[in-house]
Amino acid sequence: MIREQAGLLRPGTAPAGNDGTVRRASPKLAEKVASDIEREIIAAGWPVGTIVGSEKDLLDKHGVSRAVLREAIRLLEHRMIAIMRRGPGGGLIVTAPDSEVVTDSVALFLAYRRASLPTIFEARKALELVAVEMTARRINETKIGELRNLMRREEDPVGYPHSGRHWHIVIAEMTGNPALALFVTSLVRLTDEVVTQSRANRHRPGNPVEVHHAHSHITEAIIAGDIGLARHRTLRHLQGIEAFISDGRPQDTPWPRLTSPEGRLAGA
């Protein structure tokens, strides 16, 4: 069995030509094929688990070399759009993006751009004030029950500080706006990394009772549909978090690094 048939060629390469040279896949052509398949998946409603086609089907459809197609598939797999399953009944299968990897990628990009703490909280205030307003406007009995359960779980200090961060993400998710939830989650994760990486804050993790108190008061305003009060209390709460972190973060603290191989935020 030749190396190509065994699937041992590196992505982006093709079999050697008659002159013994290796023909490489065109990055631009591979990108175009990947984009075409991506648009096809989006237009179909992103049907997770559906087979887009076998390698032969895709080669025939797009009229490219095997090297180009495999480079395109590598791009799709990297973007968590689809994966190639070899063997009988296999093919290019539509997958669901990993939400944690996506949100951590956004947080990682912001860390790379060295977004300052005031910048992060400027964005958090803008987004989370909108989130509490939207959730208050769209509150119903199901969401009220979920919020009550969330508050009961948060009373247990064992889950702190994860439970405290989780509250902000749940409120954003309750808006029903996936874009808003994505960016709030990313900013919350980056904020958590700033706290974790800070040597000073590592020994002063905050008061879970005070955090729960703040969340409870905001939650009650949301349940009551009092948008003005919910926004006011949320702003005060975020200002308090920012002040707490700023007070305990030395000026020479290195910028946070998101280093977890699982895609989760990791402390130093």
Do the two domains 13-94 and 99-248 of this chain adopt the same fold?
no
| Domain residue extents for the chain | 13-94, 99-248
Residue 65 corresponds to which tokens in the numbers above? 């070399």
Average pLDDT on 110-135 reads 94
Tell me how long the chain is.
268
CATH assignment of 13-94, given 1.10.1740.10, 3.40.50.12280, 1.10.10.10, 1.10.3720.10?
Answer: 1.10.10.10
Give 209-227 pLDDT, tens digit per residue.
899 999 999 999 999 999 9
Residue 13 has pLDDT above 60, yes or no: no
Tokens matching residue 99 = 């939400």
Instruction: Give me the residue label for tokens 């919350």.
Output: 188
Q: Where are the beta strands (DSSP E) in the chain?
A: 13-16, 22-24, 51-53, 82-85, 91-94
Residue with tokens 């406007």: 137
Fold of 99-248: Four Helix Bundle (Hemerythrin (Met), subunit A) (1.20.120)
Nearest to 190 by CA among 110, 102, 101, 99: 110
Neighbours of 31 (CB within 10 A): 14
Nearest to 131 by CA among 217, 211, 216, 231: 231
Give CA–CA dist 9/23, Å, rounded. 12
Helices (H) then strands (E): counts for the chain: 10, 5
The model's pTM is 0.71
Residue 41 confidence class, pLDDT cut points 50, 70, 90: very high
Does the structure show a pLDDT above 60 at 174? yes
Q: What is the pLDDT of residues 233-261, one digit of tens each?
A: 999 999 999 998 887 554 444 444 444 43
Rounded Cα distance, 54 and 156, in Å: 51
Please state the rounded mean pLDDT for residues 260-265: 36
Average per-residue pLDDT for the chain: 82
Q: Is the peptide bond before 161 cis (omega within 30 degrees of 0)?
A: yes
Q: Which of 89 and 231 is assigned the larger pLDDT?
A: 231
Q: Which amino acid is at 256?
A: P
User: What is the pLDDT, as a whole number, of residue 194?
Assistant: 78
